[in-house]
Amino acid sequence: MKEYIQRFTIWQRFEHAAGIILFTILAITGLPQEFYQQHWASWSILVMGGIERVMWIHRYTGMLFAALVVVHLAIASFQVSTRRVKASLVPARKDFLDAIAMMRYYLRLSDEPPRFDRYDYRQKFEYWGLVAGSLIMIVTGFMLLFPVETARLLPGQVIPAALMMHGREALLAFLIVITWHLYNAHLSPESFPFDASIFTGKTTREKMEKEHALEYERWLAALQVSQPPAGDNPPPEETAVSDEKPAG
């Protein structure tokens, strides 16, 4: 029988689920507007009730997504600044060394892959790319939602520039989610056919030991000190942010 370790909190799992739902709605209603000249886009808009309805769904969903991102960053910043959790998603020198070590392992120049902590360099890269992309989408989205107010503060040329940035960033985020993120999280040989840890909050002991050896060692050390009952034991630390964030 497999032994499971608690890895993600209820709040982290809620953030991930909310991010999936909001990102999906934004993509379904936003991409047809970006490519409105294509047959599939115009057909999608008609199926959803027309351009006016699609625009309002997109706007309200965008506001909810913006609120989710702001709350996420606020809570994470507060918990890290008060030292309630460690800044385990902040890139460090070890991440660059791990990337080089992993490349050597892929090229068969090394017999052993690097040993990762709670998040590896790929997860950190994806997370901060998601944060940066989300902020771009939020800022440009509000500029497009309030063009008159924006033009009072900034040159009028920023409006078409914001429109271009918003559409291209949306396409980039969509492509990254359906290629990079889905593969690494669910379709790679290590995770296939499905890694449910971000949904259940738990991961197997074997997977923890293999993919997050340094965190697993801390968990073992804390387990030996406290001697809790065997079974679902929480790790010695929980971070305020998840490895998949309000995306994708």
Q: Domain coordinates of the chain in residue numbers? A: 4-226
Question: For 84-112, what is each residue's pLDDT tens digit?
Answer: 888 899 999 999 999 999 999 999 999 99
| Helix and strand counts by DSSP (H, E) for the chain | 11, 2
Residue 141 has pLDDT above 80, yes or no: yes
The pLDDT value recorded for residue 41 is 94
Q: Which class would CATH give 4-226?
A: mainly alpha
Q: How far is CA 207 from CA 118, 149, 213, in A?
A: 12, 51, 9
The pLDDT value recorded for residue 129 is 93
Q: How far is CA 32 from the centre of its chain?
A: 23
Residue located via tokens 């809570």: 75
Mean pLDDT of 9-16: 95
- State the chain's mean pLDDT as an integer: 88
Structure tokens at 125: 């890269």
Percentage with pLDDT > 70 across the chain: 91
Mean pLDDT of 35-60: 94
Q: How far is CA 52 from CA 42, 49, 56, 59, in A?
A: 13, 8, 6, 11
Residue type, 22: L
Mean pLDDT of 115-134: 93
Band (pLDDT 50/70/90 cuts) for residue 243 is very low
User: Cβ of 193: how many Cβ atoms within 10 Å?
Assistant: 6
Question: For 126-137, what is each residue's pLDDT tens digit?
Answer: 999 999 999 999
Mean pLDDT of 20-44: 94
Structure tokens at 5: 């370790």
Question: For 151-190, what is each residue's pLDDT tens digit?
Answer: 999 998 999 999 999 999 999 999 999 888 888 888 887 7
Mean pLDDT of 3-14: 92
Torsion angle (degrees, nearest 10) of CA 229, 233, 235, 238 = -130
The pLDDT value recorded for residue 227 is 63
Band (pLDDT 50/70/90 cuts) for residue 242 is very low
Report residue 77: phi and psi, to 5°. Answer: -65, -40
